[in-house]
Amino acid sequence: MSQERLIKLKSTKSSHVYYSRKNKKKVERKIELMKYDPTLRKRVVYKEAKK
């Protein structure tokens, strides 16, 4: 993965973190996604955080 396109997605309910890619030319806002949190064993909102 290219390091400049890499973003950190942090769970709003726990300390779990996902790393993903983002096209910064098309998406200028911060990303919020519903993803599975294995520590809580349910789906929660993940918000983009600083690396």
6-47 confidence digits (pLDDT tens): 999 999 999 999 999 998 889 889 999 999 999 999 999 999
2-13 confidence digits (pLDDT tens): 788 899 999 999
Res 50 pLDDT > 70: yes
Structure confidence at residue 1 (pLDDT): 66
Q: Where are the domains of the chain?
A: 6-49
- Cα-flanking dihedrals φ and ψ of residue 34, to 5°? -90, 120
Helices (H), 1-51: none
Q: What is the DSSP letter of 28?
A: -
Res 48 pLDDT > 90: yes
Domain 6-49 adopts which CATH fold?
A: Rubrerythrin, domain 2 (2.20.28)
pTM equals 0.86
